[in-house]
């Protein structure tokens, strides 16, 4: 056990006098493997910032306009490695329920340039963790090898006949934000009741599974496919059939 683990265990054992908050702090410090976001919570615990801790840890991300969006940072209500892993585990559970052939059809993942230099929660890293969760469960993943325009993901979902897809993007939101935008098998953004059912599934499997943190699976699993060349070519060819200028 390293010094970091010892320090985290001491902080987990520290009581705030708030049972719900103590549980949330314990879960975060036990589950988060990103040293930067874990340190954010550790510092708040050390300084007794209980209101800030409650704001960050005692509520969860919810769907809005077919996606999860928030600032990048530590906490269950923010976009970060852990919440993206939890969201993808919920996606897996729901898609497995909806599609008997989910493992044959696969899942599409794309990302934008958000946070590439300054953030520990960059879109590229979050996309790789999204893929890792599904690869660890034996699901083929079509992960774009570089950042792509958002429409490439829903187009790829239809073109590749995947069950669903996710684009890691905050769209036009402020630079501090990021998002997890979900597309169904028809290439459209998810609507109710899918969003509500996915949230239920996320709540049912919040503890990271074995392999969920293993982003190296993206490079080693035979189930990883890069659709960039195929989709880029096909997308531009299809555009020619509908554009007249």
Catalytic annotation, residues: 171
Q: Which residues fall within 8 angstroms of residue 170, CB to CB, at 6 or more apart?
A: 69, 112, 114, 177, 178, 179
Q: Which residues fall within 8 angstroms of residue 104, CB to CB, at 6 or more apart?
A: 140
The helix (H) or strand (E) run that includes residue 209 is: none
- The DSSP bridge partners found for residue 179 are 69
Question: Do residues 58 and 16 touch, judged by C-beta distance below 8 A?
Answer: no
CA torsion angle 142 198 167 84 (round to 10)? -90
Q: How far apart are CA 114 and CA 111, in angstroms?
A: 8
Structure letter (DSSP) for residue 135:
H
With 0-12 / 13-18 / 19 or more C-beta atoms within 10 angstroms meaning exposed / middle / buried, residue 239 is: exposed
């Amino acid at each position: 056990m390293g010094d970091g683990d010892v320090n985290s265990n001491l902080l987990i054992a520290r009581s705030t006098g708030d049972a719900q908050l103590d549980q949330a702090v314990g879960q975060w410090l036990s589950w988060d493997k990103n040293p930067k976001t874990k340190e954010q919570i550790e510092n708040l615990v050390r300084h007794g910032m209980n209101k800030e801790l409650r704001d960050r840890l005692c509520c969860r991300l919810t769907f809005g306009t077919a996606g999860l969006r928030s600032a990048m940072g530590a906490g269950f209500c923010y976009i970060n490695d852990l919440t993206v892993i939890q969201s993808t585990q919920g996606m897996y559970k729901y898609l497995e329920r909806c599609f008997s052939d989910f493992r044959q059809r696969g899942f599409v993942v794309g990302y934008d340039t958000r946070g590439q230099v300054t953030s520990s929660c960059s879109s590229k890293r979050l996309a790789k963790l999204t893929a890792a969760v599904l690869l660890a469960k034996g699901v083929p993943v079509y992960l774009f090898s570089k950042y792509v325009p958002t429409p490439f993901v829903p187009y790829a979902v239809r073109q590749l006949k995947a069950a669903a897809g996710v684009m890691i993007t905050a769209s036009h939101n402020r630079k501090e934000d990021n998002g997890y935008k979900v597309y169904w098998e028809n290439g459209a953004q998810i609507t109710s009741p899918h969003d509500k059912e996915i949230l239920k599934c996320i709540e049912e499997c919040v503890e990271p599974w074995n392999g969920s943190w293993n982003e190296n699976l993206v490079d080693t699993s035979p189930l990883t496919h890069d659709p960039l060349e195929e989709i880029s070519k096909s997308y531009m060819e299809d555009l020619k059939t509908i554009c007249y200028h």
